Structure 1
Amino acid sequence: SMLLHGTTTTEAKSGYGLNKEDEIKQLEALKEADLRHPIDIISTFLGAHEIPPEYKTDKETYIRLLIDDIIPEIRRRDLAEFFDVFCEEGVYSVEESRRLIQAAKQHGFKIKIHADEFAPLGGTQLAAEEGATSADHVMAITEEGIQALAESDTAATFLPGVSFFLMQNKKAPARRIIDSGAVVALATDFNPGSSMTESMLFILQLAVYTLGMGIEEAINAATANAAFTLRRHNDVGSLDIGKKMDVILFDEPSYLNLVYHLGVNSVRHVVKDGRIVVRDRNLTY
């Protein structure tokens, strides 16, 4: 379905197992899917997505388990390129997140952070300090967080599908972040709990109508800048000499119609790495 909606490269996370066996199963499934499917799937280990019920009163033991056992094992098996942590009140504090991030970096993981989604905890500043490729959500970001992004290569990834799906009034202050000079990206956050959509076209529309982004800004955030957050910008994200030929052809008279014509999937053809994988809205691989 993602391919039919025009996605040719995606990040996918674990984080719904919260134990070694199930996290490994999820990442193994992603690795197998990457081998079988035209979409390039880049895996992220999100074992620090929550605190498992059995460790609710003993979080430190779970943190030690992640640092001493699960993170090294995920790296040994080469199951993920990125490490992510939910830095949020009631989940992982800034200092707990820092410990986990630094342990992951020691094993060669690139970093992403669920940052400042509900409370202005300072996860965005942590992301910038630790060289994360992105701080995701940022709905409760502070001016200090915005400045930290502007002075770093860490991107703010907006996930407007979450606010829409959860019927929240709080949204990322996109205009302020963009005007600061920070890099911004867009993503679906496709998951069963808070953003059940695989349509990046829908996300473009939400970015324009709910975050106040211009259509050109939104397209850039969903393509070139999104590739930058995955450190794939030298290969995908724009049409350029030497990059993969990943192309979407829309059944619209103008790119402006991508956010004007609502409620339809206007993706007609998709080319992945020079190969037609969707023709006339039908999969061809």
Structure 2
Amino acid sequence: MRPFKEIKANYYFTKEDEARLSELKPLMEKRAEKVVGALYQWIIQTDSAKRIFKNESLIKHVMRLVRTWFISLFSGRYDNYFYDTLIRIGQKHEKVGVDPHFMTRAINIIRNACVDILCEEMEHNREKYLISINKILDINLDIITSAYLEEEIKGYSPAYRIKIQLVRYGEIFSQVVSLVLIVGLSIITVAVTYLCGKDIYEILSGKLEQTIVTALGSVLILWVMLELLNTEITHLKGGKFKISVFVGVALVTVIRETMIATLKHETIEFITSLIAAILIMGIVYWLVKKTEEDRR
């Protein structure tokens, strides 16, 4: 399976699309029965579909699941949990023998129902909302179908099954390490907060000249720790990994060291070397940051 970030990028699924879909949530929740009803009518009128959904109670159970899935399309949250849910849908379809054709046809019915809803409810600017709906439906179909085919291949290839298990264990290990890293960063952030508070207390106690520089350095380190923590949390949710944050850590550390060296009256050569390091790291930080922004 391709990473979710790559799939969204290939469909040009942007933050604007997420916001538009989120705006539609109240409307689609209100009109969800129309969508589910359209799919229900197709199932009961199609012989090949009726052979899979053998009784009315099963059809109603599936329709409840479809309703929940449909509303989730407009949740505004398209993270790893959303991605994993779609993978499980594809895997379940393969296990119960639902042909990918039926999923493709179901998406087509749901797409048409959404078009009808927007035409009935919106007079202006409906085109951009339709584009966002088409994107999320295509992404769903892509992931569910890919998961279905991957699950099917596993049944024929023992080597492929081993490969998938290794990848899955690797992903689990990566998630655990990320969680440990977040806990570690949280502990360090608390410690830096304590040091910062201690420096501020000494300033208020009258030791202004001795501690104001170290207090400012502690504040800079605290700011960087919060950035690191937020970056790791975002990455854990499926967001982009920002190298610029780590360059920023090095830059702030050297800045703090320069401030302390100035206070301690270190040699001019040592202070000059720190300033040169700041200049180089500043250029590197700007180049990395610019590259990250260009890739958005």
Same fold (TM over 0.5): no
With the shorter chain as reference, the TM-score category is under 0.3
Normalised by the length of structure 1, the TM-score is: 0.26
Structure with the greater relative contact order (CA < 8 A, sep ≥ 6): 1 or 2?
Answer: 2
Higher strand content, 1 or 2 = 1
